Structure 1
Amino acid sequence: MNDDERNIVWHHSTLNKQDRQNLHQHKSVMIWLTGLSGSGKSTIANMVQNYLHEKGISVYLLDGDNLRHGINKNLSFSEEDRKENIRRTAEIGKLFVDAGVVVLAALISPFDIDRQLARSIYNSDEFIEVFIDCSLDVCENRDPKGLYKKARAGKIKQFTGIDQAYEKPANPEIIIETDKYSVEESANILLSFLIDEIKIMEVGKDD
């Protein structure tokens, strides 16, 4: 620990997460969607966000591309910078969860060690890993942003699935196979899981 760290003291708030969850009248959790580019992460997350909002749930979507336009704009796609991208996103999400808000994060997040690091900063029941499982062939055929075509042409380096690995989650809370289900069906699968299994509509309790 350096001198600067010794001089930083945590300031405790008189309001806590339970107070904020009681105000919102529902649990607050991080719902982390991981998968290849083109698998449907952002589209599914946006549909789920809209549904939860309509039901009176305070919800916010952290999209990987959008974050790279702002707080993560100085990061590349190297393994080191991807790690920092995940760390920053997880820390931002933790603030939302502490504020009593349901947060959806849609990021490729290709490396298991980085996703586990993200999970480690939350309470055990607050981090929901959603593996948006879709084959590389299907994702590449979709190629909604034309990124695979650029990667194959060598115009994009360190592109996940082409010249950078994607490590599938070993034990995600839920797997949604988007090469078998439509976007609407996939969103409904996730919604049903959140409502029935996570009971997101209920007020949370402190651990």
Structure 2
Amino acid sequence: MAASTNVTWHDLSLTKEFRRVQNAHHSFVIWFTGLSGSGKSTVANELANRLYKDGISNYVLDGDNIRHGLNNDLGFSEEDRKENIRRIGEVSKLFVDSGQVVLTAFISPFKEDREIVRNLLEVDEFIEVYVKCPIEECENRDPKGLYQKARNGLIKDFTGIDSPYEEPENPEFVVETDRFSTEECVEQLVSYLTERNFI
């Protein structure tokens, strides 16, 4: 599909700075990346609850949920995965412009795609969190039975099995879900965000 050339960016009367003042907090993206079963969604949702209790407006964008709606036309080829992340990056930027904290939980296996999203945002608006967990532990958990299906050849291009996962080289933060509980991971992240005046 060719991109339309008949579009013009329309500046909004309420900037993200105004919205941040109204919300009384900074707006930014916490980008959780990691293997399937590593605990991305679990940690993101628990952190969202904690931020909500602290009066911080936030929203979780989850890989599975997004594919039910916005990205239901995409498969799991490398090209479709790139487009999936591109769209999520653009949506995340809109959330930041609205003055909210957005927590995204996506495998997002390719470094290049994560960098594209980072470059959409300002320097202090993107926090890459690597949810680190050995693939053996992810397979043991296998909450959706996906690893077993991939091993049986029922799912193609599955990250960690027959499609690569490129670990972040310099993430802002790493949580190790095989070593720490969800609650401990959340406390670690809250401490990080607080120390750096994100919250």
Please name the residue that 1:205 is paired with: none
Please name the residue that 1:176 is paired with: 175
C-alpha change, 1:147 and 1:4, in structure 2 (3 Å) is closer
Q: Deviations over 1:152-176 (max 9, x none)?
A: 1111111100010000001100111
CA distance in 2, matches of 1:3, 1:75: 17
Q: Deviations over 1:20-69 (max 9, x none)?
A: 00000000000000000010000000000001001111100000110000
What is the Cα deviation at residue 184 of structure 1?
1.4
Give me the identity figure in percent: 56
Please name the residue that 2:50 is paired with: 51
The 5 A counterparts of 1:91-170 are 91-170=90-169
CA distance in 2, matches of 1:177, 1:3: 41
Please name the residue that 1:85 is paired with: 84
CA distance in 1, matches of 2:118, 2:186: 22
| SS of structure 2 residue aligned to 1:128 | strand
CA distance in 2, matches of 1:42, 1:58: 18
Q: Deviations over 1:60-116 (max 9, x none)?
A: 000011000000111011110000000000100100000000000000000000000
CA distance in 2, matches of 1:3, 1:188: 44
What is the Cα deviation at residue 194 of structure 1?
1.3
Q: Deviations over 1:108-142 (max 9, x none)?
A: 00000000011110001100000001111111111
| SS of structure 1 residue aligned to 2:56 | coil
CA distance in 2, matches of 1:101, 1:83: 25
- TM-score when normalising by structure 1: 0.93
CA distance in 1, matches of 2:8, 2:154: 47
Please name the residue that 2:198 is paired with: 200
* One-letter identity of the residue aligned with 1:191: V
CA distance in 1, matches of 2:3, 2:179: 55
* One-letter identity of the residue aligned with 1:106: A
What is the Cα deviation at residue 13 of structure 1?
1.5
May I ask how many residue pairs the two structures share in their alignment? Answer: 198
Please name the residue that 2:18 is paired with: 19
Cα RMSD (Å): 1.3
- TM-score when normalising by structure 2: 0.96
| SS of structure 2 residue aligned to 1:62 | strand
What is the Cα deviation at residue 3 of structure 1?
9.9
Please name the residue that 1:8 is paired with: 7
- The gaps in structure 2 that reach 5 residues or longer are none
